[in-house]
Structure 1
């Protein structure tokens, strides 16, 4: 079967039918017409979002190359164009002047050579000689399907494509396995540093390693970062290191996505996790990092592989993949999968990261649907694309907030169960719960249908962003965040409050 005939068949195949040949089809092997056919099919699919970054077709995963350059934020993401599966990874490019309105720049990196024959994996962006460069993992396999990789420096060209500069790290240090990927670059003075996720050969456990460069092109291995997390998952993906200031003191923050953690109470409930450790700045001469405990960044169902950058005014901004590997999503049948979270500003309070939706998101606010006080069992409004803020002059008592709910006023049978995505609060326990058991199409139920988080202080403020098939919630001005996908019926858009009288503002987005 030729590639064009095979592509035509991809429009209707099930995920289980994606064999190796189909998964490793490059954009170079299909016509522009075939790709536009795929895009057209996806554009008319249900569950498409309205103000989140999403793929035009196929599968999106890790955000890559997030950086500010020449007055614009540039963001790339991992992309398999031809279907909702993990296959030959390309890079797709979007850019924005305000972190809100994103311009579609098209595919930027198509694996087409020996160096990246089996995929352009994750990496980061940095500025070198007044040009945007990226540092990423090039993946390849031999005829026996044995994997190998290298870390490549490449440059964004005026034509919008990323071209290789040099194979900067051709071989993996002998102490580590082929699980060695996702370089994240930062600069201190005249020196460039990169942290790479790795797996040790001696115990098959995850870690991070550090490289250094004088010119941004030639890189020297320094060693392994020394943390207290010596037996913490089998691989640390998408590492990121930066500093945040609290009370005029600078602290180091190490974000990574450990794979292989066992669930403990309400922690580590997803298939894979993303989180951070904080301590005094990393001691670069000996790579010692004294730190506190590991904290998950987001307690929702769908959050992975975050990446950060710095704004011109000094804010640290994070974006993540709102999805997880090895899970089938209801949108798969329509030829696309996943989206990115909204950008969030990170601050440090009492040694913990607080996440705030960036202030620029206020530009998305349209008309006010409701402003005032919600009483017990009241319908606040109806919308599937919204920002909702609830606050209390003192602290919240117990409540239940139903989102993307079937409207009880329209149900023919008064005994009919309401479909809903629920946010609950237990004031005695200071515990918030996200429950999607009754939120439309069920999926990933083997990992549970609820997620819980115990707040450090009583709840006084909630900010929520709902889109067609996503929800992001921020509790107590960013002390806790929860991100998730849901696949509710298109007419399920009621927002229902059951609790004490509280102040509410609801905007249409």
Structure 2
């Protein structure tokens, strides 16, 4: 049943879309083939699911500002993860238990219905907050009825307790939540249920002091537990990690532990933490399994930090986007990520340059000038020295074959200085790049490492420049 307050919020949100739509669409940095908000701020992907054959992507959305505020759940659908339709708002912050935001969560199908789980955020007048884990249901996947809170804050945690991810194993439902302990340490907490509505706490399965893990951040967000090739993988976004070598140089991180969840005793044994993405703009990933049995992940192509306010799209009343959908595989003791095969439908005008050989100096690649394209550098041979690929004079990918280090450089939106993210790689044989008007997603060695970044080159410069000594084959597709 649609309520008066809900109708009012919907009208206000769509009023913002209408008010700013021309300015939004006139932005040169609007992306060509990524999911973006129609206006305002987008962050975490939520409720990823294939329901009745249709892919659903919900997302955190503030339609009223390009800053974080009381979040709605926006909603997109697709039959192929390529062509998307914007659907009506799924959830609005219109109840006592979610009045300051319908925060992140997940989706499951049960008995032919689609259920959304999310965190209801409430801010009290004294500055403290409440957190409630809530449920909503839909018969058709489009119109949702809120059924209210199903889980309130348990003992031992602050109100930073959120982002329920729900799944079924054998005949029981499981929920993992991101949490902050009273000692202000991050943790993942497990709950079980027989019916999706009545939940029993099973305890922490990971966090500081468990599995020989030292202090690992003051809060863990957006947990997700999946199984890849027999490994139970806990995806998590910890806050408060300090840089260490090449690791943890963003304000907040996203990555995973690999191990084994004991479903009988509700314990989780795991190894070390591995970052999922080596770039600048990747956070709050979530996965789902589709009808083909693939585990597919989306991430927020952004991050909350002080540079967020300097993105040039803000003057056009929108900010941030989601990554491309990526299929996850477990190989060679780690997660590999690859763009889903459906994205090949975007390809137009294939061009192949075979056996490109470069000497020391600079080579501007011919017939490759573009702002929206897929570039595949394959069969790369470079035994020593350094080579780089510069994208539109605004970002560059550089490999030092002597140090065995791969780095992505870009110009800071805040300071205009060059900033860098680096990882170690013994060799490189393939670099697969998805360029959009203001984003880069770079898959190295079939997804062994991935770099994601927003960047904002000048419109007039569409050059791709290769520097250094190397041999490779280049295949290019325009993407539209």
Q: TM-score, normalised by structure 2?
A: 0.92
Partner of 2:165 in structure 1?
A: 184
Deviation, structure 1 residue 80: 0.2
Q: State the secondary structure of the residue aligned to 1:151.
A: strand
Q: How far does the alpha carbon of each residue in 1:475-495 deviate from its partner, in whole angstroms, 9 at most, with x for none?
A: 111110000000111122111
Question: Which stretch of structure 1 is more off in the superposition, 305-314 or 489-498?
Answer: 489-498
Q: Which residue matches 2:364?
A: 379
**What is the distance in 1 between the residues matched to 2:64 and 2:380?**
51
Tell me the SS of whatever aligns to 1:501.
strand
From 205, 218, 221, the counterpart of 2:198 = 218
Query: Are 1:507 and 2:473 counterparts?
Result: no
**Aligned pairs for 1:98-137 within 5 A:** 98-137=80-119
User: What is the CA deviation profile of residues 384-425 of structure 1, one whole-angstrom value per residue up to 9, with x for unaligned ones?
Assistant: 101001112655653111112xxxxxxxxxxxxxx3311111
1:414 alignment partner in structure 2 = none
Mapped partners of 1:142, 1:379: distance in 2: 58
Q: CA deviation at 1:174?
A: 1.2
Shift, 1:34, TM fit: 4.6
Displacement of 1:68: 1.0
SS at match of 1:331: helix
More strand by share: 2
In structure 2, the CA distance between the partners of 1:309 and 1:479, relative to structure 1 (3 Å rule), is same
**What secondary structure, in the 3-state scheme, does the structure 2 residue paired with 1:298 have?**
coil
User: Matched residues in 1 for 2:346 and 2:408: separation?
Assistant: 25
Partner of 2:5: none
CA RMSD of aligned residues (A): 1.8
**Cα shift at 1:89:** 0.2
What is the deviation of 1:133? 0.7
Residue of structure 2 equivalent to 1:278 = 258
Secondary structure of the residue aligned to 1:360 is helix
Evaluate the alpha carbon distance shift between residue 447 and residue 183 of structure 1 in structure 2; reply closer, same or farther with a 3 A threshold: farther
Q: 2:77 aligns with which of 81, 92, 95?
A: 95
Cα distance in structure 2, aligned partners of 1:133 and 1:86: 25
Contact 1:128–1:216 under 8 Å retained in 2? no
What is the alpha-carbon distance in structure 1 between the residues aligned to residue 13 and residue 396 of structure 2? 44
Residues 382 and 471, structure 2, Cα contact 8 Å, conserved in 1: no
- Name the CA distance, whole Å, in 1 between partners of 2:168 and 2:330: 21
Match of 1:471? Answer: 440
Shift of residue 128 of structure 1? 1.4
The separation in 2 between residues aligned to 1:217 and 1:392, in whole angstroms, is 53
Correspondence list, 1:65-84, <5 A? 65-84=47-66
- Going from structure 1 to structure 2, the CA distance change for 1:291 and 1:313 (only over 3 Å counts) comes to same
Unaligned runs of at least 5 residues, structure 2? 1-7
For the residues of structure 2 that align with 1:66 and 1:243, how far apart are their CA atoms? 16
Tell me which of 406, 431, 445 is aligned to 1:432.
406
Whether the 8 Å contact between 1:278 and 1:351 is mirrored in structure 2 is no
State which of 17, 20, 32 in structure 2 corresponds to 1:50.
32
Asked whether the equivalents of residues 16 and 64 of structure 2 are also in contact (C-alpha less than 8 Å), the reply is no
Q: 2:199, 2:214 → 1: CA distance?
A: 25
- Check whether the contact 2:410–2:418 (CA below 8 A) recurs between aligned residues: no
Please point out which of 310, 320, 333 is paired with 2:289: 310
Report the alpha carbon displacement of residue 256 of structure 1 after superposing the two structures with TM: 0.3
> How far off is 1:141 after superposition?
1.8
Match of 2:332? 350
**Cα distance per residue 1:193-249 (max 9 Å; x no partner):** 010000111x2100010111101122111111144235210000000001110xxxx
1:30 match: secondary structure: helix
Partner of 2:222: 238
Verify: 1:335 aligned to 2:317, yes or no: yes
Check conservation: 1:274, 1:296, Cα contact below 8 A.
yes
1:253 is aligned, of 209, 213, 233, to 233
Q: Note if contact 1:38-1:82 (Cα within 8 Å) is conserved in structure 2.
A: no
SS at match of 2:267: coil
Aligned to 1:486: 455
Post-superposition Cα deviations, 1:59-92, rounded to whole Å, max 9, x if no partner, equal 0000000011100111100000022110110000
The CA deviation at 1:333 is 2.1
Compared CA separation, residues 309 and 260, structure 1 to 2 (3 A): same
CA distance in 1, matches of 2:172, 2:179: 22
- Given the alignment of the two structures, is residue 450 of structure 1 paired with residue 420 of structure 2, yes or no? yes
How far apart, CA to CA, are the structure 2 residues paired with 1:303 and 1:132? 28
Cα distance in 2 for partners of 1:283, 1:115 equals 33
CA contact (8 A) 1:206 1:234 kept: yes
Q: SS at the partner of 1:106?
A: coil
What 5-or-longer segments of structure 1 have no aligned partner? 1-25, 405-418
Contact preservation (8 Å) 1:256, 1:275: yes
2:277 equivalent to 1:298: yes
Is 2:371 the partner of 1:402?
A: no
1:391 to 350, 359, 378: 378
